[in-house]
Structures are given as C-alpha cells and as structure tokens.
Amino acid sequence: MSKKKIAILGSGIAGLSYGYYLKKYQPDVEFTILESSSRSGGVVFSEMKEGCVFEWGPRGVRPKGNGQVVLEMVEDLGLWDELVFANDQAKKRYLYHDGKLQVLPHSLKSFVASPYLGLFLKAFYKDLSAQKVATDETIAAFVDRHFGEKFRVLFFDSLVSGVWAGDVTKMSVSAAFPILKKLELKRGSLLKSLVGHKSDVSDSKQYPKEITSKALFSFKGGVQTLTDTLRDVLADFIEYDVKIQKIDFSDKVEIALEGSSICVDELTSTIPAYELSAFVIPDLAMVLDSIFYAPVAVLNLILPKSELSFDGFGFLVPSKEKSVVLGMVANSNTFPSHAAPNKSVHTVMMGGARYSLEELNAMDLKKDAISFLNGVFGKPLFIEGQELILMSKAIPQYELGHVDKVRQIEVLSPSNLKVLGNYMYGVSLIDIITKSRDLAK
C-alpha cells in the first residue's frame, strides 16, 4: 500500500507543530509544508536589538494545565536548557485609569488591602444570584449579569484588550471563555460552581509544581527559539516561497502551483481565514471571510534600567480611558535575561478592534505611546531605542456567533480538508499546539 500523503499550508506555529506531531506519531505518513513566504514562524517573531530581546508576537507560555504539552515538546526538542521562567517578583499586574496606576490583587493580603475590595465584594454578591443562560452572548452581557457593569468596564474590558485586542461588547463568551459558560451551566453562579470544581488534567507529561506554578516561560533568545527549532527539525519537509494558484478537492487534493502541481490525499490548512477563502467553495469562503482580524501596533522600547521605577509585569488600560494604548508589558521585569546589562525592555500595544487600520495609519503612534507613558509615570522618559510594527490583521476576533462559525467551517470543509489555526480553537500557543497534536494523533 502507498503511504498517505498530506500537504500542510503554512509554517507558523500551527503548521510546524502539526508537522512535528505527524513526524512523531505517524511515521508512515508523507507530508510537505507549503509556505508562501521565505521564513517560518508566522506571528512568533523575536529579534535581538542592542543585546535585548524584542518580541513582536507572543512573549511567553503559561506552564500550568495544557502548557505542559508545550513543555513536553520543549523537552523532546532538547531545548530545556534554553528555558527561562518568569521572575516571581514580577507577578504584580496593574490597571491604569483615572490618572493613576492601581495594582490588581495578586495575593490574599493584597486582595484585602486593595482599593477594589468593595467592588469585588459587590460583584461576588451579585454573582451568587445569577441565573443560567443557555444561549451564547457577548462577554459584556455575560459579565454584567454576573458581576455588574462597573466590574466589567474595569477588569474584563482590560483583560480582553490585553489578550485579543478585542471589544467585550462584540466578542462571544462561549468562544473566548468557554470555561465560564461551562461553569454557569452547572449552578448559575460562577462562585458556587467553582466549589469542588477540578480543572481538567493535561494528557501530557506532568511537571513538578515548582515549574507549573511559574507565571510564564520563554527562552533565552525569545519565543522564536521554539519555532526556529521546529523549522530545523522539519527542514526536509518545508518548501518556501510557494505560490498557490488553485486547489481542487475531489477524491484527491490537487494543488496547482506556478508551473507545477502537487497531488495529496489530504490538505491541512493553518493559514489565516482570509487567505484560505480564496481556494474553497463560496459558502465556506463566506464564513471564512466573516472572521474579523483586529489591527495591532507593537512598539518595543529600550530604556536605561534606572529610568523607570516599575515593579510589575505590566499594566492594562480600560477602553473608558479613550486611549489608543491597550497596555504595556515590562518584559525585562518578567525575564531579566531579555535585557542587556543596565537596560530595560518594554512593549506597548496599541489599536485593536476599536480602531480601523486607516485610523491607526493616520496617527503618530510612537509619539502617542511615549506621550502616554510620560503621563503614566509622571515624567519625560529617556528612550534609548525604539521600533514599531503595525500589523494590519493581527488577531482574529471571536465575535458573537464564532462557535457556530467554527462548526460551519468543519461541516462545509471537504472530507479531505482539515482546518487549524488561531481563528479556530483558541489564539494562544497552548491552544494551537495542543489542537495540532490532537489532530496528528
């Protein structure tokens, strides 16, 4: 019998991890990864600048839960000695609103002393009488029912901006926070449902608590160390600068390229929804094209270490502040090795779903970001180095109805087409890698 042949579209983290797991679990399968550009890694992109690590995409992975799937991959790839874990002293998270930074509770003592204590207690009391709602709803509607509008405006608005650069009034709670809907359907109140609740145990190697209790892990050279290693392991399976003209799905999948074609038994797409839509039937294309990607600007800054007295992981900015700045991450507080001696590295995120690409292009984003930071820290900051990238379609938005869209994509896809990627089953590296592993198995 001839070996099954698979083509994988895209060599971002989804395509690379899927290829890695095919190689590991399905040695009898032949596969080729087709990449339209000249590099692998997709949105995972780390750069060394003046001895400092600039992260343009994800900047770390949580080691608990399914983060252990990623840790197991890291160990299998021989990268354990390249790992760096988050500094425990950088656990503090802040909100910036009403003209000042406010630390979020990060321990029982800080919770009791928090200026938000009264708001939390009112929110918890409101949740105790919350009722079950079986249908999907926006994050805003869900949180308002359980905890109140003021709680949502400060905390969930900022959280969604920080993770998805999203808008809580548009995003689906079932798609973005499925665990919350799952808990609600048990007893109505989330607090009541948490009593006796046990998180699912990851079906991977289990690591000791001193590792899983860390906030994040990365690598000495940044997160791109992982994708670069996967690229090297899969070097014989990746073709670069591939320009696809057409894809025909019948008993086999025929991929027409410039001057040649490839025939395989199955195609797995990991490319963005708006790119895949060009090669599929109109009904499926319409669903794919309906997935909105938010534009995001990322500004990386190098400062003298003595310039900024800030002890946290970073801060988020609620949308009520009407700022283009979504938040700042103090990278070198979390991973001190990512900064050169006597330097600090910070990343400012701007834009998101509340801004159009045209609006962001019309702004002086560097000037706006630095002016905002000067206001936050109460002085003009001395910036030694800065670089900005504006991504026109950075993060897919799980808007209301997204769960149904994913089901439609699964149903409308031909039997020999599988769809992976950050618009399907989660935007985090953990979600993407875990789903790639499960499909390969």
CATH number for the domain spanning 434: value is 3.50.50.60
Q: Is the pLDDT of residue 196 over 90?
A: no
Range of the domain at 187: 117-194
Do 187 and 234 lie in one domain? The reply is no
- pTM, entire model: 0.95
Domain end residue (candidates: 140, 173, 194): 194
**pLDDT tens column, 206-258:** 999 999 999 999 999 999 999 999 999 999 999 999 999 999 999 999 999 98
Average pLDDT in the 133-159 region? 96
Confidence of residue 4 (pLDDT cuts 50, 70, 90): very high
Rounded (10°) CA dihedral 130, 135, 139, 141: -60
Domain end residue (candidates: 175, 194, 213): 194
Confidence of residue 390 (pLDDT cuts 50, 70, 90): very high
**pLDDT tens column, 52-99:** 999 999 999 999 999 999 999 999 999 999 999 999 877 899 999 999
Residue 21 lies in a domain: yes
Q: Which two tokens stand for residue 249?
A: 């799905």
Confidence of residue 324 (pLDDT cuts 50, 70, 90): very high
Confidence of residue 199 (pLDDT cuts 50, 70, 90): confident
Do 26 and 175 lie in one domain? The reply is no
Residue 188 lies in a domain: yes
In whole angstroms, what is the distance from residue 135 CA to residue 221 CA? 44
Residue 93 lies in a domain: no
Do 132 and 281 lie in one domain? The reply is no
Residue 267 lies in a domain: yes
Q: Is the pLDDT of residue 393 over 70?
A: yes
Average pLDDT in the 389-417 region? 97
Q: What is the pLDDT of residue 1?
A: 56
Do 173 and 130 lie in one domain? The reply is yes
Tell me how crowded residue 23 is: count the other CB atoms within 10 A of its CB: 16
Q: What is the pLDDT of residue 138?
A: 98
Residue 440 sits at φ, ψ, to 5 deg, of: -65, -40
Report the half-sphere exposure of 416 (CA within 13 A, side-chain side).
Answer: 18
Domain count, the chain: 2
Do 190 and 231 lie in one domain? The reply is no
Q: What is the pLDDT of residue 201?
A: 78
Residue 333 lies in a domain: no
Do 234 and 186 lie in one domain? The reply is no
Do 184 and 139 lie in one domain? The reply is yes
Average pLDDT in the 400-412 region? 98
Q: What is the pLDDT of residue 259?
A: 85
Report the mean per-residue pLDDT for the chain: 96
Q: What is the pLDDT of residue 91?
A: 83
Residue 373 lies in a domain: no
**pLDDT tens column, 252-303:** 999 999 889 999 999 999 999 999 999 999 999 999 999 999 999 999 999 9
Do 284 and 402 lie in one domain? The reply is yes
Residue 424 lies in a domain: yes
Q: What is the pLDDT of residue 107?
A: 84
Do 403 and 276 lie in one domain? The reply is yes
Confidence of residue 383 (pLDDT cuts 50, 70, 90): very high
Average pLDDT in the 162-189 region? 95
Please state the three-class secondary structure of the chain as a single string. CCCCEEEEECCEHHHHHHHHHHHHHCCCCEEEEECCCCCCECCCCEEEECCEEEECCCCCECCCCCHHHHHHHHHHCCCHHHEEECCHHHCCEEEEECCEEEECCCCHHHHHCCCCHHHHHHHHHHHCCCCCCCCCCEHHHHHHHHCCHHHHHHHHHHHHHHHHCCCCCCEEHHHHCHHHHHHHHHHCCHHHHHCCCCCCCCCCCCCCHHHHCCCCEEECCCCHHHHHHHHHHCHHHEECCCCEEEEEECCCEEEEECCEEEEECEEEECCCHHHHHHHCCHHHHHHHHCCCEEEEEEEEEEEEHHHCCCCCCEEECCHHHCCCEEEEECHHHHCHHHCCCCEEEEEEEEECCCCCHHHHHCCCHHHHHHHHHHHHHCCCCCCCEEEEEEEEEEEECCECCHHHHHHHHHHHCCCCEEECCCCCCCCCHHHHHHHHHHHHC
Do 136 and 177 lie in one domain? The reply is yes
Do 11 and 144 lie in one domain? The reply is no
Q: Is the pLDDT of residue 335 over 70?
A: yes
CATH number of the domain that residue 152 is part of: 1.10.3110.10
Do 283 and 408 lie in one domain? The reply is yes
Residue 436 lies in a domain: yes
Q: What is the pLDDT of residue 106?
A: 84
Domain end residue (candidates: 149, 172, 194): 194
